[in-house]
């Protein structure tokens, strides 16, 4: 299912990372996370982004072949909404563009987090994403689990919206392996989005990564380049092992973190987020990095030691 083309001497585009079939879309394995388009820090914190620059990032991403954008209605800052930026920059949307969004968390308009959505509230969340993006259906909707023990009721509510034609494909976010099985008994799952990055492991990540690979399900790590910094942004240079591998390839440690993530399997899709055009170009170019077996062994050992 994964096709990895050779590197070229021309400008590196997203097809260098290869492709994966995500639902009925063939997407390049390097995509774009939209959260940081809204400002210099997560959500309503920090300095709001420059609107013109954020729109330029989105348009440049599509020019570079990015056809997988990850967003949510709750990605907004004091002045910017990620969905509105995407709509303004890219509508009418290219036919090959997949826009994934997520529901479950709830934020008030002042930026404060509310209680997790109840199953009957998810239709309103879906409709808000539709309105903001200017679409009549959503390509892919993740249910972001909010610490509930079972996802059945919430996922069942989204499955009904899928049957109604408002959603094309369903995914899960921040789940354990048992939640994947629980959801699959209700409706097909095409993607799982969980936290995973070099030196950052969660108890569920390795098992989900394996199960998704075996079943042909996409695995989409979030905070893959941020490490423990999470929503605050990319990790610093980090361990000397990462820095040494970066020097050998003439790239940055952040690019090596992303490249290592892509090497976890052909079903792994990276969605590094940025509001900086230069960082976008570097992120997309990461798809052309081919780590050697020896380099992977050193990085894997570093990752295992951090567990």
pTM above 0.85, yes or no: yes
User: What pLDDT does 236 receive?
Assistant: 53
> What whole-number distance in Å separates Cα of residue 300 and Cα of residue 297?
5
> What whole-number distance in Å separates Cα of residue 246 and Cα of residue 226?
16
Q: What is the mean pLDDT of residues 66-78?
A: 94
User: What pLDDT does 49 receive?
Assistant: 82
Band of pLDDT at residue 8, cut at 50, 70 and 90 = very low
Tokens of residue 169, six digits = 């494909």
User: What pLDDT does 194 receive?
Assistant: 94
Q: What is the DSSP letter of 77?
A: -
Band of pLDDT at residue 44, cut at 50, 70 and 90 = low
Distances (CA, A) of 2 to 74, 152, 164, 189: 32, 31, 31, 18
> What whole-number distance in Å separates Cα of residue 28 and Cα of residue 12?
13
Distances (CA, A) of 19 to 1, 32, 120, 215: 8, 14, 36, 17
Domain boundaries along the sequence of the chain: 24-233+265-287
CATH number among 3.40.1010.20, 3.40.50.150, 3.20.20.100, 3.40.30.10, domain 24-233+265-287:
3.20.20.100
Q: What is the mean pLDDT of residues 219-232?
A: 65
Q: Is residue 160 scored above 60 in pLDDT?
A: yes
> What whole-number distance in Å separates Cα of residue 89 and Cα of residue 97?
13
Q: Which of 179, 218, 221 is nearest to 200 (CA)?
A: 221
Q: Is 223 a catalytic residue?
A: no
> What whole-number distance in Å separates Cα of residue 120 and Cα of residue 136?
20
Band of pLDDT at residue 78, cut at 50, 70 and 90 = confident
* Helix (H) or strand (E) segment spanning residue 101: strand 98-103
- Please identify which of the residues 75, 93, 142, 223 carries the catalytic annotation: 75
């Amino acid at each position: 299912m994964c096709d990895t083309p050779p590197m070229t001497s021309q400008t590196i585009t997203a097809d260098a990372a290869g492709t994966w079939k995500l639902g009925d879309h063939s997407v390049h394995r390097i995509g774009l996370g939209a959260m940081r388009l809204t400002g210099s820090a997560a959500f309503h914190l920090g300095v709001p982004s420059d609107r013109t620059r954020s729109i330029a990032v989105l348009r440049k991403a599509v020019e570079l072949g990015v056809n997988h954008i990850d967003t949510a209605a709750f990605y907004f800052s004091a002045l910017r909404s990620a969905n509105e930026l995407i709509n303004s920059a890219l509508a009418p949307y290219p036919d090959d563009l997949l826009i994934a969004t997520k529901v479950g968390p709830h934020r008030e308009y002042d930026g404060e987090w509310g209680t997790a959505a109840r199953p009957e509230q998810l239709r309103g969340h879906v409709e808000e994403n539709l309105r903001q993006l200017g679409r009549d259906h959503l390509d892919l909707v993740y249910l972001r689990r909010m610490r509930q023990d079972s996802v059945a009721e919430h996922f069942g509510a989204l499955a009904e919206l899928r049957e109604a034609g408002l959603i094309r494909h369903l995914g899960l976010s921040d789940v354990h392996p048992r939640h994947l099985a629980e959801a699959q008994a209700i409706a097909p799952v095409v993607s799982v989005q969980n936290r995973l990055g070099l030196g950052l492991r969660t108890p569920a990540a390795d098992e989900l990564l394996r199960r998704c690979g075996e079943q042909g399900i996409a695995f989409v790590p979030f905070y893959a380049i941020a490490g423990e910094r999470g929503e605050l942004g990319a990790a610093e240079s980090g361990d000397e092992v990462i820095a040494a591998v970066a020097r050998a390839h003439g790239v940055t440690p952040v690019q090596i973190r992303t490249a290592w993530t892509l090497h976890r399997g052909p079903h792994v899709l990276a969605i590094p987020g940025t509001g900086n055009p230069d960082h976008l170009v570097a992120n997309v170019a990461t798809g052309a990095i081919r780590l050697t077996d020896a380099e992977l062994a050193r990085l894997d050992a570093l990752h295992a030691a951090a567990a």
